[in-house]
Structure 1
Amino acid sequence: MKITRIETIPFAIDYTKPLRFASGEVRTAAHILVRVHSEDGVIGTAEAPPRPFTYGETQQSIAAVIGTVFTPGIVGLSCLDRETIHAVLNRTVGNPTAKSAIDMAVWDVIGQSLRVPVTRLLGGYTDRMRVSHMLGFTDPAQAVTEAERMRDVHGITTFKVKVGRNPIHIDIAVCRALRDQLGDAVDLYIDGNRGWTASESLRALRAMDDLDLTFAEELCPADDVLGRRWLAERSPIPLVADESVTRPGEVTRELLGGAAHAISIKTARTGFTDSQRVLFACEGLGVEVIMGNQIDGQVGTVCSAAFGSAFQSTSRRAGELSNFLDMTDDLLAEPLTIRDGMLPIRQSVGLGVEIDPEKLTRYRQDRSD
């Protein structure tokens, strides 16, 4: 399982509509396909989604740090030397999605080499995940229409609603319309992407107190230390930390500092190895977790679902696994399907990722025509 090469391929696939939220908007999945090659001819695959407005990464920076910083220290190591690989990655600060894609591709090599699905290597708890769908900034009528379509076509009954706009009554109106039109048969929670102050957040939560929201995620800025603690002490529902917990140490800081009650785990930023560390810390403290979404394509969704299904704690609640449905196309030879609100977990060896070569040729950005 010795690593011989790490390949980075930039690709871009448009979304059918922009996903808008408080910290930015995404119109195109301009991601990096990461491939770890082993001496046995096995190739592990993962996806790195740049989010410059969240982590400061771009397509160019991910390819550069992998090619010039990480690869020289990793090539020649065995994929089983995971702690040594992480020691190399962790000598460099930041770059969470670049590090995570390498980590997950390494796990894919191990799974393929051992002829075992990665989800079983991780824990193997269940063979399916219940799905939550993210609703971006829009007006009440359009939000209801999209949610009804996801419910009627795919059976999805859990929705995360992007909030954080000013004036706050716009977001309140969207949430109220969803509850009024969809009834009590759906679960709703909100995500502010750091768009409100602590006082605005509390005002909004009080105004929506009758809507039976499940969670509220990252309503105010990650560095608003006292404001976040003040809000957590007063919030009528659990607060989920997301962008503020990009590393296991930050999870500890947010929880012990009293700024959050639950944690969003995203394999796109903590891979499989650090996601395990985050999960086990949360389990030890009795803290709930949610499987989040980095607006992943189908490759990233396969990774998130493989991890989420591996453990009882991560599969307890619906995972954010459906936003690839808003893409005009994808790279997988066998596309993912969501039925009855569930995403089946692939039981092929490794991650079960097979890239369609024609689609990769069509969407890759590093070739000259």
Structure 2
Amino acid sequence: MKILRLEAIPYSIPYTTPLAFASGQVAHAEHVLVRIHTDDGLVGEADAPPRPFTYGETQASMKAIIDSVFAPQLIGLDPFDRGKVHAVLGRTMHNQVAKGAVDIALWDVLGKALRTPVHKLLGGFRDSMRVSHMLGFRPAQDLLAEAQRFREEYGISTFKLKVGRRPLALDIEACHVLREGLGSDVELYLDANRGWSANEALEVLRRTADVGLTALEEPCDAKEALSRRRLVQQSPIPIIGDESVPTAGDVSRELLSGGCSAVSLKTARSGFTEATEILGLCSGLGVDVTMGNQIDTQVGSVATVVFGAAHEATSRRAGELSNFLDMSDDLLADPLRIRAGRIQVPALPGVGAVIDEDKLAHYRQDATSPSPH
């Protein structure tokens, strides 16, 4: 079996409720659907969400790097020769989300060729994953109403609150309002998206000591090396690295320098292959991991569930899986469902994300003729 061609299909779907956070705001899912075609007629698929304010990649840059750089070098390779494929991808610096999508699409091909769910190829630990929901920048009472609705409708009992780049008092108020309104049996943790200084983060932790927060994600820029290390040393809860740890090498740097004490894994930026490397590194060092969200569509959320449920370490915490509910539509033919706070792993061969071709034709932003590659 050989790789015949690659497609990078840009598309756009509006959100019904834009998600705002410290490093930006998302009102449309302007993503890229990546497809790997083989000469056996198999097609592997994955979703690539550009986040220019976080990783520097845009919809246009991801399509360009896949069409112009990756595709010419990957055509003709056997999809099972994953080492050769990653040697090609590794020649190009950065572009982590584009690489991650190519990797997941490759795994999708392998699973379909073997007629086996990728979830089982990765480990097959559980058949579902617990869901965490992200709450964006809104007044405290509105955040509480949203959390109560998601708990009632979907059974979700873990919430991540986006904070940073606004008066500290607003974020602190939101923490207290959520805890008082939701009770003690709901898990709450924070994500500042580099929106604070390390000293501001320490102040927030001091003023929310009675709230029972379980973690603080990416409180400040990793460039604040000394202050961030002091924050990690003084924090009573885990400090999760996210934007600072997109690769296994970055994870090693941050953990060894004391820049974080836990790691957010995102399959959208690491694919399954590097995510496995990062997970092995963290497990060997006894470092907790959580499955993060790149403001994924349902296609991307399927990939997160497939990887997260496959391993014991990634199954311990709720994965950030529900923000597709804020989208007006999606590309999946069989929409994801959250029941009793969990999402089931698809039982189909491959990754399990089946695309509705009519929806893709409606939302795609390019000509519908196939790529020359």
Q: Does 1:190 align with 2:190?
A: yes
Establish whether residue 218 from structure 1 lines up as the match of residue 210 from structure 2: no
Q: Which runs of 4+ in 1 moved over 4 A?
A: none
**What residue number does 2:85 align with?**
85
Q: Which residue of 1 aligns with 2:67?
A: 67
Q: Give the aligned residue type for 2:211.
A: L
Letter in 2 for 1:167: P
1:200 Cα offset (Å) = 0.5
CA contact (8 A) 2:5 2:75 kept: yes
Q: 2:123: which partner in 1? A: 123
What letter matches 1:228 in structure 2?
Answer: R
Q: Shift of the alpha carbon at 1:279?
A: 0.1
CA distance, structure 2, for counterparts of residue 94 and residue 314 of structure 1: 25
Shift of the alpha carbon at 1:180?
Answer: 0.3
Residue matched to 2:371: none
Name the % identity. Answer: 56
The residue aligned with 1:163 is 163
Question: TM-score, normalised to structure 1's length?
Answer: 0.99
Cα deviation, residue 224, structure 1: 1.5
Residues 192 and 218, structure 1, Cα contact 8 Å, conserved in 2:
yes
Q: Contact 2:130–2:318 at 8 Å: present in 1 too? A: yes
Mapped partners of 1:254, 1:53: distance in 2: 21
Residue equivalent to 1:229: 229
Task: Check whether the contact 2:222–2:259 (CA below 8 A) recurs between aligned residues.
Answer: no
- Matches of 2:321 and 2:102, distance apart in 1: 21
Q: Is this contact kept in 2: 1:133–1:158, CA < 8 A? A: yes
Query: Residue 365 of structure 2 aligns with which residue?
Result: 365
Displacement of 1:321 after TM fit? 0.6
Q: Tell me the equivalent position of 2:18.
A: 18
| Residues in 2 aligned to 1:190 and 1:3: alpha-carbon distance in whole angstroms | 42
Gapped regions of structure 1 (runs ≥ 5): none
**CA distance in structure 2 between the aligned counterparts of 1:167 and 1:125, rounded to whole angstroms:** 42
Partner residue in 2 for 1:98: 98
Contact 1:165–1:171 (CA<8 Å) still a contact in 2?
A: no
Q: Secondary structure at the match of 2:304?
A: helix
Deviations 1:141-165 (A, max 9, x none): 1100110111010100000000113
1:1-369 superposed matches below 5 A? 1-367=1-367
Q: CA–CA distance in 1 between the matches of 2:56 and 2:222? A: 15
Contact preservation (8 Å) 2:179, 2:211: yes
Offset, 1:222: 2.1
SS in structure 1 at match of 2:210:
helix
Whole-Å separation in 1 of the counterparts to 2:123 and 2:56: 32
Alpha-carbon offset, residue 236 of structure 1: 1.6
Separation of aligned partners in 2, 1:367 and 1:38: 22
Distance 1:224 1:203 in 2: 16
CA positional deviation for 1:64: 0.2
Report if the CA contact (8 A) 1:4-1:38 is conserved.
yes
Q: Deviation at 1:232?
A: 0.6
Q: Aligned partners of 1:167 and 1:299: how far apart in 2? A: 35
Unaligned runs of 5+ in 2: 369-373
| Structure 2 SS opposite 1:159 | strand
Please say if residues 187 and 213 of structure 2, whose CA atoms lie closer than 8 Å, have aligned partners that are also in contact. Answer: yes
Q: Which amino acid aligns with 2:52?
A: P
Shift of 1:177: 0.6
Secondary structure in 1 aligned to 2:5?
Answer: strand
TM-score norm. by structure 2 comes to 0.98
**What amino acid is aligned across from residue 56 of structure 2 in structure 1?**
G
CA–CA separation in structure 2 for the residues paired with 1:232 and 1:238: 8
1:244 CA displacement: 0.1
| Aligned equivalents of 1:32, 1:224: Cα separation in 2 | 33
**Number of residue equivalences:** 368
Q: Secondary structure at the match of 2:188?
A: strand
Q: Which one-letter code corresponds to 1:123 in the other structure?
A: G
CA distance in 2, matches of 1:238, 1:59: 33
Give the Å deviation of 1:53.
0.2
